[in-house]
A and B are shown apart, each in its own frame.
Chain A
């Protein structure tokens, strides 16, 4: 069991954007082992850009991104994956012309049934979809495959971008269940969301993001009433 005080991800002074347009200024965030951190903000606040900058999906990034003592900011995406980072992008971004199984195993050159087992245990729904093309999945199924695809790489930190977006409430609860199961296994998570009910259900601490500025929140961003209503 990992010590909760151990920092998995340390971000400081992060600037990121597209060309001359800076979207994120001086972004700073810390995630400890086994902790779920929420990053809440409205549409267009810079959540996706921030996560994309962390995992190397956008090129114009400067600052400090440290994972377990390794500086990542100048490394290509696949090196960041090697050091334990996994991303579940908004909408899943699955490879549409590949099957579910091909999507899950895309990053693992050699795999056996045993490698797939933990993912299929977490999402038994995927078992019967293995040979289906990813372009033909529902929103919830896509999200499960996207999470599974990231898990196949055995991440220590999972970045989730709007995981609840566009999903039916019952599917969202299914996702909450899965995320909590993953935390129990010691996977740390950074969840970018505009649905604060969702972050309320799963997160241990919160950051807010607005116009590219990130600030730490001492309390959960919404009153506890709706949370008890859902739970």
Chain B
């Protein structure tokens, strides 16, 4: 066993898991709390990654990344809110089919728009100098970019925790996870809450997209790749459970990265192997929504 390699893989996996968490947490809230299944959530991630790459190409690796981290997630949130109000709203009445069809259509449309705007070539940009090296820690060499991803994710998780526990929006989201119908009957405008949660979810996906840019190879397959993983995370973590999805994302990320030490290819198989094993023991995932059938 090569411990140097192992620890590097665990860190890489944790960083990947952090990205999965950022994408999946918004999706699990939107679905678990408000019953909206947005297949195009991964497209927000991909578009944000492209937009982030564009910022870096325009303003250079350091300033570009910082500018992207501020602008892109906000733009993604605004874009998602607009889509929610125009495309999703009319189809909520037709149960889940309407949402699935609309959001699947969006996946295709957004993918083709990205193809037209950014081209079919995968984009790689230079990572900022500060994040391209390694940090020596207790005899282990840790990639500073991956540590950076963890710091950003930790900050976002902290923000999410504050939002859910301290703010009124958070209280409404938690209530919606318990009983979304009843929220309207106590005077809450559920329609507006849906738009807000869609925006928050896209904000998180936008942050994930931007911090994924220095990994390189931003390509048109990212949208489907990340959404499939995000759904696996939701299934493992439990629907509507933000912290369940954090645990699930880290488990998946680490399992995937460590498996590359033993498997030459097919790391994604490991994700679903983990899912199967978890579901064998806990059919409803790590956490379940109390009283929900």
Contact = CB atoms under 8 A, between A and B. Distances in A.
A190 interface: no
Given A59-B93, A96-B290, A109-B168, A82 B182 contact: no
Interface string B222-246: 0000000000000000000000000
B178 A97 contact: yes
A108 B290 CA distance: 24
Residue in B182, B183, B187, B188 whose Cβ sees the most chain A Cβ within 10 Å: B187
Contacts of B178: 95-98
A87 B177 contact: no
Contacts of A82: 187
Contact of A98 (B93, B171, B181): B171
B291 A81 contact: no
B contacts with A: majority SS: helix
Contacts of A118: none
Contacts of A77: 184-185, 187, 190
Contacts of A95: 174-175, 178-179, 182
Interface string A69-104: 000000011100110000101000101111000100
B25 to A, nearest CB: 17
A93 to B, nearest CB: 5
Given A95-B179, A98-B178, A135-B290, A107 B93 contact: no
A15 B216 CA distance: 59
A81 B290 contact: no
Contacts of A89: 182, 185
A156 interface: no
Interface residues of B, number: 22
Interface in B162-199: 168, 171-172, 174-175, 177-179, 181-191
Contacts of A98: 171, 174-175, 178
A150 B184 contact: no
B185 A55 contact: yes
B93 A78 contact: no
B6 to A, nearest CB: 39
Nearest to B189: A78
A107 B185 CA distance: 9
A57 interface: yes
Nearest to A81: B187
Nearest to A59: B93
Interface string B92-105: 01000000000000
Contact of A56 (B177, B185, B189, B291): B185
A174 B287 CA distance: 37
Interface string A136-156: 000000000000011001000
Given A95-B178, A135-B290, A106 B185 contact: no
Interface of A: 55-57, 59, 76-78, 81-82, 87, 89, 93, 95-98, 102, 106-109, 135, 149-150, 153
Interface of B: 93, 168, 171-172, 174-175, 177-179, 181-191, 290-291
Q: Which 3 pairs from chain A and chain B are nearest by CB?
A: A77-B184, A107-B187, A81-B187
9 contacts: A56-B185, A76-B189, A78-B187, A78-B188, A81-B184, A106-B175, A107-B186, A108-B187, A109-B168
